[in-house]
Structure 1
Amino acid sequence: MNPPPLRRIAHVDMDAFYASVELLRYPELRGKPVVIGGGRNATPELRPDGTRRFARLRDYAGRGVVTTSTYEARAFGVFSAMGMMKAAQLAPDAILLPTDFDSYRRYSRLFKDAVRTFTDRIEDRGIDEIFVDLTLVEGESRSLGLRIKNAVREATGLTCSIAIAPNKLLAKIGSELDKPDGLTILSMSDLESRIWPLAAKKVNGIGPRASERLAELGISTVGDLARADLGLLQESFGRTYAAWLARIAHGLDDREVVVSSEPKSMSRETTFERDMHVERDRAVLTPALTQLCERVADDLDRKGYCGRTVGVKVKFADFKIVTRDISLPVGVRDTANIRRAVGACLKRIELDRRIRLIGVRVSALERRSADNPDGPDTGPIQGELPFDC
């Protein structure tokens, strides 16, 4: 019996996706720091001479958060989920644009359809990224990666970064190594030279707080983590998380590419750059939570679902995780109803410690009714929240 073929998993990640879509619309902004996330007031103004007047980040006032930014803005330290006012301090002259989710969804469909011309073994991970199982697709990895990149560019006019590796863990890490417009081929033999020198925080699932705790143990890189004593990790992180850290440090990941077209839930979460105080950091927590609701609502709308159960996840600074959910009489898919349900869940959590992560989840999914495509209004659910302004 012939051995099974070696797995080839690709992670396809669009480069600064929302910002890149906007640059197609406003090509004069190429090479400039641009931040996406403003409201209607950030809509460019067309001058009589045909040129456009763009809003500047320095003029922003409010509690919004950055949706995304161009690489030029990231050079100033401006990243997604950052408070807009903090971003304005870092890059006051950056251009500010409003979000346009209709356009982002359209380009998302275009790039995914382009990849589907190679295989239907695709796991949708959001509007701008997918995993692709290329194990049974003919062609050498580098040549195949170039063909996929060219297909995406022809379909959208946008660039993507691709990594092809033996598993999802390495593919996800690899797609960041040569951004933007990168193509990275990894094997297990590349672990020591390409993965171990990386900062531990580069691994998805190791957030700022975990990185700090690892640094306290003298562990700053993935290689340090691979050489660390398992008992020491268990003392600091517990048995389950320590075992996961040891596995990922050695590039081990047996997760399959999930192609199922019927998801059980849709969720979004964000880990903060620092632990958030419930009262003093309202200006960051409240818009961040609302944006998570918006992103889940966008996922539901894009895939044609609504959900009857809405939940919230809070990870505190001591790594304790608390979840709460609420079952609704009818399915919801819009931001307002999801936000109200999340508020009801939060009222059942004792927010007595600093927060390092929040997440929003909608489950008990059902296909949206053709008779009521917008979904019902469940009415008011919440009162004022601890960090809701």
Structure 2
Amino acid sequence: EDDPDNVFLWLDIFALNLHQKDRSSFKRVKDAINISKRGVIAVLDGTALKASCCLYEMWATLHMRGLQYLKIASGNPVPAHDWDEAVLAVDLYACKATKQRDRGIILKEVSEKPGVEELNTVVKVLLTLRPPRVHDINLLLNGRYAKRVDLRIVHQWLAMPSRLSKTLWIRGAAGTGKSTVYSALVLELGQAASKGASTHAKPAVLSHAVAYNDTRTRIPMHIVHSLAFQLYNAFPDDLGDAYAAMGPREVDELVDVKAAVRALLEQPIKEYLSSQHILIVLDGLDEGTGDASAGMANYDDQVLEDINLCWANPVLRFVCLHLRSLPKNVSLIVTSRSNEPDSAQDYLEHMLRSFGNQSLTVEPVEQFWAAEEAAAAAAVGGGAAPVPTH
């Protein structure tokens, strides 16, 4: 009541009243979608995928808000085989309507961008990959500090001719701004890449933040599905048909992480994106061994000095065993805590250096705040500017 923006609205269905004397239905649907700040959740079964009005509501969300605002609820009562057939058969042209006239009205409305064919593909890919709905809290908390981060080191690294198939590790102690640097990387590089084809300086950015207190962020299969969906989002024209043709049943059968990486990332990149430049950014690599009940107290330097504990980190194991198979036009940036730079017992560094045939560049996180600290010191005649500790 005190916050007018904090409103929860449950809708059973958007009522598209297509009465010939009432043409306000489309406007009402669009108004509802426009004021739904977090987006639209589609709760579907096989019947809904054959109804033109249901697909129209998804199209309206894509058309007005963008792909990231259309969320597909997971789980459905339909048998796997029937659901797979329903997804593969999604086609607005073949959808049913109470009256043929109603279907014609919807097709005419959808003829604008993105259009019927793209709508069909997007719905199929969403229902096939089912990307996990993990909210990237780091971007929310640290995005406001992003402009304070000095990313010149990253831009120089990106511009290196031999940069392809390389790893950049940004490391530092707890509370030194690593997640803020991650946010700056994703926000700045992601926006640059969205303005044109990927290049060395503007690669397509796929990101994932690992959180010690969120189990979902530490499940390798979830990470694969998230990265695959981001890859599709970056190259929809190149990958749409390939992902859409798989269907949810084929993806569900990829129970092994190695097989999932090969089918959803490695093969699509090799076959369709060999000339593109792709950058994967992972934040909090050390937090993969997290225990939500123990909190950050569960983290001490032992995890960085014990090779067995390193291998117990499912995210680190995922990076070193599975992401190494990705083609050479894919590079990696990770952030994590670390021991002292001269420590001979930092097994995290040892594992990253053995990441395939890639060479490793290591940068302390302080380098990304050096310009701000110097400017602040000059302004006040000494001292350092505070660094966000998120």
Normalising by the residue count of structure 2, what TM-score does the alignment of the two structures yield? 0.23
Q: Give the structure, 1 or 2, with the largest relative contact order (CA under 8 Å, sep 6 or more).
A: 2
Normalising by the residue count of structure 1, what TM-score does the alignment of the two structures yield? 0.23
Structure with higher helix content? 2
Bigger Rg, which one: 2
